[in-house]
A = this chain, B = another copy of it.
């Protein structure tokens, strides 16, 4: 019976017939395998062009054992952050002739029985896994069958041998806080952290503490606040500090979103940034039309993390070695909110 859905596409055999060769020859030409006569190759290419032929992905996948597609799994896919990663990943997958499959887990983690693995060995050649998108049990299973994977912004649980690509968090934070102390002479520096599970926040906090310690400034728990859970948690934290009357020279927010929230709260309370309190962030994510003071921050190569992770996954698929941990470099962006300029 004819395919009812749409007019059927040409197959390898159609191309072979038109070029007057065997279908295996066409396959060789298309995949650059073995030695092919120049004239034959040309005839094949002409036939391919003429028929507008595209190899059927499923058939190719079935025969070769490779489906030429990568999967990207994340908790959620609508943030700018994810968009940039996606952009980086997509640029290399497409460039290498791979398809890209996306899945958002939305927190329904693979713990329970009956979990339907949406992306895995059955439909991809390897997986790119963004922060906490998969349970460690699931990672363990996939790792046990030796399935190619790369983790983005997350280190492998239980010392599984899964590479991790992220950017330099601790050192960048260290340098940023050094700037606050060395250049501006601030000593009472508060830190607003994100969600505990986010390694980002943890490493940035380590850099912060390291800098204080280096300068002989005691680490005070009252100066470390939470900002990552509820939408307005940062505002509440800043208000708490303000009302407590505790002395603060500067606030280091673990990301720019939080920094902007802090600036917003401060300005609502009638305080000026950076004149009264300096605020710095991380990510370099604030928008062009931002009405507040230009934010001193760390420019993170978000897009590049996606691209690099995809490259490494492709290497793993091709049996090449990759480093267990890749830390992409960042750049300090000194602007106005720290008190400079």
Contacts and interface: CB of A to CB of B under 8 A. Distances in A.
Interface of A: 3-7, 9, 49, 52, 54-62, 65-67, 69, 76-80, 82-84, 86-87, 90-91, 94, 99-104, 113, 117-123, 125, 141, 145-148, 231, 257, 260-261, 263-264, 267, 287-292, 303, 317, 319
A103 to B, nearest CB: 6
A156 to B, nearest CB: 17
A118 B146 contact: no
Nearest to A53: B122
B118 A4 contact: no
Contacts of A100: 101-103
Is the contact region of chain A dominated by helix, strand, or loop, or is it mixed? loop
9 contacts: A6-B147, A56-B122, A56-B123, A57-B67, A77-B86, A82-B83, A87-B104, A99-B101, A260-B287
B289 A260 contact: yes
A143 to B, nearest CB: 10
A59 B62 contact: yes
Given A103-B100, A122-B56, A76 B80 contact: no
A84 B90 contact: no
Given A6-B145, A80-B80, A101-B100, A122 B55 contact: yes
A192 to B, nearest CB: 13
